């Protein structure tokens, strides 16, 4: 009966010895040297000029989109109603120039959110498409 007890004691001594030796050796994982980064680099796509545009109401539920610069390639135009429903998705190409007109008289909304851009940039603006001094036909008849 003393043999298993003696083996158990040797096992505990061995485990204790391993633990003591394991903590006394330095950890080499913390000693590796790393090169310090001294300069910051930015991707070249960050300096892409953003699109800028103006919205001008031309009639009841009609408006023009006027780009500041002629687009270099196709630029996507998305038009939403004031609830966020996508009404129209269109493109303005270099052949179209800087201006594009929209007639959304088939919709019930007079407030539109226009998002213009492509994969590198986009900009969003809103417009109340009823010029000052003009009323809708339903208001004129009352």
The CATH number covering residue 91 comes to: 2.60.40.3080
Assess if residue 22 is contained within a domain.
no
Q: pLDDT tens digits, the chain, 142 residues: what are they?
A: 456 666 778 888 888 777 776 665 555 555 556 666 677 666 655 555 567 899 999 989 999 999 988 888 888 999 999 899 999 999 988 888 899 999 999 998 889 999 998 777 788 999 998 866 655 554 444 3
**pLDDT value at residue 141:** 41
Assess if residue 100 is contained within a domain.
yes
Evaluate whether 125 touches 100 at the Cβ level (below 8 Å).
Answer: no
Say what the pTM is: 0.59
What SS3 state is found at 27?
Answer: coil
CA nearest 67: which of 128, 130, 129, 125? 125
Assess if residue 74 is contained within a domain.
yes
Q: What is the tally of structural domains in the chain?
A: 1
**pLDDT value at residue 82:** 87
User: What domain range includes position 70?
Assistant: 53-128
**pLDDT value at residue 134:** 59
Where b means 16+ CB within 10 Å and e means fewer, 13-25 reads: eeeeeeeeeeeee
Assess if residue 64 is contained within a domain.
yes
Q: Tokens 């009966």 identify what position?
A: 1
Assess if residue 14 is contained within a domain.
no
Could you give the angle at the alpha carbon of 81 between the alpha carbons of 118 and 121, nearest 5°? 15
**pLDDT value at residue 117:** 85
């Amino acid at each position: 009966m003393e043999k298993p007890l003696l083996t158990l004691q040797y096992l505990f001594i061995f485990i204790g010895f391993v633990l003591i030796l394991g903590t006394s050796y330095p950890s080499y994982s913390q000693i590796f040297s790393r090169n310090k980064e001294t300069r910051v680099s930015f991707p070249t796509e960050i300096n892409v000029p953003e699109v800028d545009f103006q919205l001008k109401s031309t009639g009841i539920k009609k408006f023009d989109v006027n780009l500041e610069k002629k687009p270099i390639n196709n630029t996507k135009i998305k038009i939403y109603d004031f609830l966020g429903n996508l009404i129209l998705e269109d493109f303005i190409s270099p052949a179209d120039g800087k201006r594009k007109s929209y007639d959304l008289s088939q919709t019930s909304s007079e407030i539109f959110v226009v998002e213009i851009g492509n994969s590198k940039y986009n900009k969003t603006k809103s417009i109340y498409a009823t010029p000052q001094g003009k009323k809708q036909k339903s208001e004129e008849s009352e």
